[in-house]
Every structure is written in structure tokens, then in C-alpha cells.
Amino acid sequence: MRSYSCCDSNEIGHVDLNGDRVWAGAWRNDAYPSYRGTYIMLVDPVTCTVQGEIQSAKYGDLVSYIEGLSDGAIVVGVTANEPTMYLPDTLIATLDELGVSADGLEYRGTFGFVAQKGSPEKTVQRKVASAAESLSNPAQFVADLSGCIFIMM
């Protein structure tokens, strides 16, 4: 996972699952969409694939989406260009329940995370608060997820 800030067309934000790029964006790079805001995707931990549509704070209500997820759901979040204008207090509180902190994020700062709903202690997050820092080293990390569904009858 790599978030991106604005103003550097050489940097590509992305989320890869099992080596497949499931989300990518960049600032003023014709090969990629120029996203803006916070993007969240529900991930199946067994198949390591995105389940359903990728949700955006810019175009939808992430609070309702996250609240509607079942406990145990795995979500990956990534920011693009400028997330703070789409981070209302209600979304900040909902992210906090996942173990994700948006506190101290400045204009064009970046963050990304992997979280399991109902288990905030398992959350992995990287945050780069300022635009200047995000331009040279945006929030990014690699995480291994493993999961298995057991059905007992």
C-alpha cells in the first residue's frame, strides 16, 4: 500500500493484493486517475481479493459503510492527494473505532491502514502528517494477511 499526495507526477499511489494492483492513482499522470480523499476496500482474507466496490469518502458515506460491516471484516484504507477535506468528525470517530488515527493530519498529509472491525488492536497504520513529508515519503507499508474460515457443523 502506498498513499500519495499532490504535486509530484512521478509518484503512484496503489494497493496491491496478492501481487495484483486493485487500486492506483497519481497526481497529473495521464496513465492513472487523479483521486482525492480516503478510499476503503473490504478484503476477503482467504482469497485476498477486494469484495464489492471500493468506497470513497469523497463520493459516499464511509461512516455508514464501515458501521454496516460485520465484526471481523478486514478493510484496507489509502489516501490520495488531499484527504482532510473529506474527513468530517463523524468519520474520524469511526476510523478511531477501527484503531486508525487521523489526529494531527495536515492538509495533503497521507495515511493508510489495514484494520479488522471489532479488533482495533490489530490495526496496522502509517501516517505522514504534513504535505512536505508526504511529497518525499508518503505513508506506505507492506502487510501480510492470513486467514482461514472454519465452518463447524
Every domain of the chain and the residues it spans: 4-136
3-state secondary structure the chain: CECEECCCCCCEEEEEECCEEEEEEECCCCCCCCCCEEEEEEEECCCCEEEEEEEECCCCCHHHHHHCCCCCCEEEEEEEECCHHHCCHHHHHHHHHHCCCCCCCCCCCEEEEEEECCCHHHCEEEEECCHHHHHHCCCECCCCCCCCCCCCC
Question: Average of pLDDT values for 124-131?
Answer: 94
Please determine, for residue 151, whether its predicted confidence score (pLDDT) is greater than 60. Answer: no
- Residue 68 exposed, middle or buried by CB count within 10 Å (0-12, 13-18, 19+): exposed
Band of residue 135 on the pLDDT scale cut at 50, 70, 90:
confident
What pLDDT digit, counting tens, does each position of 83-102 carry? 998 888 999 999 999 999 99
Quote the pTM value.
Answer: 0.88
pLDDT of residue 57: 83
pLDDT for 146 equals 66
Give residue-wise pLDDT tens across range 23-79.
999 888 888 888 888 999 999 988 889 999 899 987 678 999 999 999 999 999 999
Measured CA to CA, the distance from residue 116 to residue 132 in angstroms comes to 30
Residue 149 has a pLDDT of 41
